[in-house]
Chain A
Amino acid sequence: MARDGADFLLEMVGISKSFPGVRALDDVTLRVRPGKVHALMGENGAGKSTLMKCLFGIYREDSGDIVLKGRKIKFHSAKDALEAGVSMIHQELSNVPERSVSENIWLGREPLHRIGPVKLLNHRKMREDTAVLMSSLDMEIRPSERMGGLSISKQQACEIAKAVSYDASVVAMDEPSSSLTETETAHLFKIIRDLTAKGVAVIYISHRMSEIFQIADEVSIMRDGRMIGTYPIAEIDEDRLIKLMVGRDDTHRFPPVESTPGEKRLEVRGLSSANPRSFRDVSFELRRGEILGIGGLVGAQRTELVESIFGLRQLSSGEIFVDGRKVVIRSPRDAIAKGIALITEDRRGSGIFPLLSITVNTAIASLGSYLNPARFLEHRRIESESRKLNETLRTKTPSMSTLIQNLSGGNQQKVLVSRWLMTLPDILIMDEPTRGIDVGAKFEIYTIMADLAKNGKSIIMVSSEMPELIGMSHRVMVLCAGRHTGTLDKAEATQESIMRLATQFE
């Protein structure tokens, strides 16, 4: 293959980027041709988003060069990038929902009437230019419509129109189809083909295998911050792609999980979210002493599923059975009363009370069980029970009155586990239980999980780390785009088999 610079519209050569403690990108090279769709694939945390953020000047790379149309460039902001013809369609839409379509498209570069020193917005020109833009892209969107009133796919189309209006030569799309229906995705693909026909290069980030083979001309695979390889789509198949995405040495260590699953404890039938873009028709069961892993890629709706079971989000249909009895859970309080506990994914956002002590942080969900006959708190019992739990889990803290914000992430996580064990749950749901904690603390959390399972607790573990899913779970259930695509036994669960289910849209 000729690696002649003239062939490429955009080259990112030897890009490295480190964050404190992590090497996010290690000598990554990506070359994109004009008029082609270049798919970028990799597991969660492989470095795709970091690479794109370096391209757009959101992050500054530590080393490496970015070359656009043969010229070395360095963007300092998203505005620089846009003006140089490099656009990004984000996974989360970043528009101003209360303003009109035309105002959104010309945001920050509105055409102006100048009357002496006074500058006024030229609304008519904005609307006319928008109408021309939309018809050139074959999009049926009225310029005066309120952005927030449009469907997600139309909002996305507006983002693309905005990119085109900047005369973009490179458009990067980060999981653009994650919230689209099939028809909407088909329309998106039509827009992409129109763009490439005009010579635009499209960088397409997606987890959905079928889409890649449908739309991409080339595919680059990233893993652990490194570029694994770039292949013409015709020269690669799904199996090979999956192998390249996951093929990593298993360096993690796990304690033995010795429990044997017993009788059925939790059963979920046909659960659908009240949010139509979230999960649909999910069924599974969880046994006594079992660790059930839930795997999937970003956008698989795993957190939404477990938070809905816990009563934090609304369901539209489906039934939940605990110990064979049908239960209705409308709030976390209901869930706790049924013996369910949830350690959320976002430790700071919905876990800890930073300015409260370890004792209060531990006891907050079970205070009702520690009242004397006059309904006052039994401080001594609360303190001793919190201390006992934290000692069992080996939380490292100078004292029980230390503020939790002064502990390390791993120790905060142990306090949260203590909090939920204090409610005496039968079912413990742990969403990304080892996110952001160091290797030693991870092993301790795994040990705690194995011990809990041995003592008859049932655990649901949502995780984005495949080795963790494989190492700790009796069974791994995989979601893709809100659908339950399969459940693997311990013997069947490999990185390849999980990745296959996680990318199996439909």
Chain B
Amino acid sequence: MAAKTQAETPERKNGFRAFTSKNTNLVTFVTLAAALGLLTSGRSFEWPSIRNLMIAESVRAFAALGVGMIIITRGIDLSIGYVVCLVASVAASFAQTPDYGAALYPGKDFPIWLPLLAGIVTGGLFGLFNGVLIAFGKLPAFIATLGTMSIARGAQLIYTRAAVVGSLKDNYKSISQGALIGPIPNLAVYVAIACFLVWLLLRHTKRGTNFYAIGGNAMAARVSGINVEREIVVVYTYAGLLYGIAGCLLAGRLGLANALTANGMELDAIAAVTVGGISQTGGVGTMSGMLIGVLTLGIINYGMTYLGVDSYYQLLVKGFIIIAAVYFDMKKFARRA
């Protein structure tokens, strides 16, 4: 093929510079990790630190994978935090020790799979509902998910009567807290599996390609024969299922669920994927970007805690990081219009 156009430059750059300019999110992550390593004189590279980071970020990773896919289709999901909260409460309610007096179902000993199933189904249904509202109800995603956010919150308070759902069975907690493969925490293993599946979906299936097409140009996607409505329902449902898993695991990790569980997780997840290069303009982003984004925010949290930054200030910093990430993202893609 005759290589003779104006588009040569991006591909022409070779080696290290090309790699870094294409993978700014990875560069940011490595730089921050190295800086943290220096600050902590290497302690952040020791296994306990890494293990803590994995455990702390794993639940968020599920939420990020879900909302990351949604943002690729040019959508948004604000309901994450309260859906995860509701799911955690539902799952916890079926995993309480039978002799616990304040249990939601006192004296009942449910099989171990029931809380998982109930939680994941709840998450999936919320995702489905979001998807139907957006695809067929033609509601803006922002508003639709704002509505379901409130619905999930109300449902959680009604279901738990605003009480803590605690005293979970040890075998349930060990799903999250255990480590079946050597020293690697189970949570990290689940995240790895989820990442693999999302990668497979985005990279190797027709559906994944459709997500990018819809986010890149929904009208062109329709003209190309893609069932845009169906794919939107599917992406929100997949995300809901991922939130479902997140909620189940979170309940197990904390050993309880209450109305404050996972609050603000939507912010963390959206921030993470944006830092990871999932553009709000739609049609751009990869699984690895989502994961890098989660880890980047993770080490920023870790670093601030290590440096003794007040947790209130941490929130402040996080806000600025989101704004900065979106600002640079918009600058990068502004030329497109």
- CB of A350 within 8 A of CB of B220, answer yes
The interface-forming segment of B125-133, B202-210, B293-301, B318-326 is: B202-210
Smallest CB separation, B115 vs chain A (Å): 31
- CB of B8 within 8 A of CB of A352, answer no
CB-CB < 8 A to A351: which residues of B? Answer: 217, 220, 223
CB-CB < 8 A to B222: which residues of A? Answer: 312, 331-332, 350
Docked complex Cα distance between A335 and B223 (Å): 10
- CB of A377 within 8 A of CB of B209, answer yes
A105 proximal to B (CB < 8 A): no
**Interface hub of B222, B224, B336 (most chain A Cβ within 10 A):** B224
A168 proximal to B (CB < 8 A): no
- CB of B225 within 8 A of CB of A342, answer no
A196 proximal to B (CB < 8 A): no
- CB of B5 within 8 A of CB of A312, answer no
Q: Which residue of B lies closest to A401 (CB)?
A: B11
CB-CB < 8 A to A349: which residues of B? Answer: 217, 219-220
B94 proximal to A (CB < 8 A): no
CB-CB < 8 A to B316: which residues of A? Answer: none
Docked complex Cα distance between A387 and B227 (Å): 26
CB-CB < 8 A to B336: which residues of A? Answer: 354-355, 405
A469 proximal to B (CB < 8 A): no
- Encode A383-423 as 1/0 by CB contact (under 8 A) with B: 00001001100111111011101111001000000010001
- CB of B5 within 8 A of CB of A356, answer no
Smallest CB separation, A4 vs chain B (Å): 50
- CB of B10 within 8 A of CB of A312, answer no
Docked complex Cα distance between A114 and B119 (Å): 61
Smallest CB separation, A404 vs chain B (Å): 9
Q: Which residue of B lies closest to A372 (CB)?
A: B204
Q: Contacts A355-B283, A398-B11 given; indicate if A406 touches B6 (C-beta within 8 A).
A: yes
- Encode B182-216 as 1/0 by CB contact (under 8 A) with A: 00000000000000000010001110011011001
CB-CB < 8 A to B223: which residues of A? Answer: 310, 312, 332, 342, 344, 350-351
- CB of B7 within 8 A of CB of A353, answer no
B181 proximal to A (CB < 8 A): no
A 410-460 contacts with B by CB, 8 A? 411, 419, 423
CB-CB < 8 A to A228: which residues of B? Answer: none
A19 proximal to B (CB < 8 A): no
- CB of B209 within 8 A of CB of A360, answer yes
A137 proximal to B (CB < 8 A): no
B1 proximal to A (CB < 8 A): yes
B4 proximal to A (CB < 8 A): yes
CB-CB < 8 A to B210: which residues of A? Answer: 367
- CB of B3 within 8 A of CB of A398, answer yes
- CB of B212 within 8 A of CB of A397, answer no
- CB of A398 within 8 A of CB of B5, answer yes
Q: Contacts A353-B216, A375-B205, A376-B205 given; indicate if A411 touches B5 (C-beta within 8 A).
A: yes
Interface residues of B (CB under 8 A from A): 1-8, 10-12, 200, 204-206, 209-210, 212-213, 216-217, 219-227, 281, 283-284, 333, 336
Give 13 CB contacts A-B under 8 Å. A332-B225, A336-B225, A353-B217, A353-B220, A355-B333, A364-B221, A365-B224, A367-B209, A398-B3, A399-B3, A401-B11, A403-B7, A406-B6
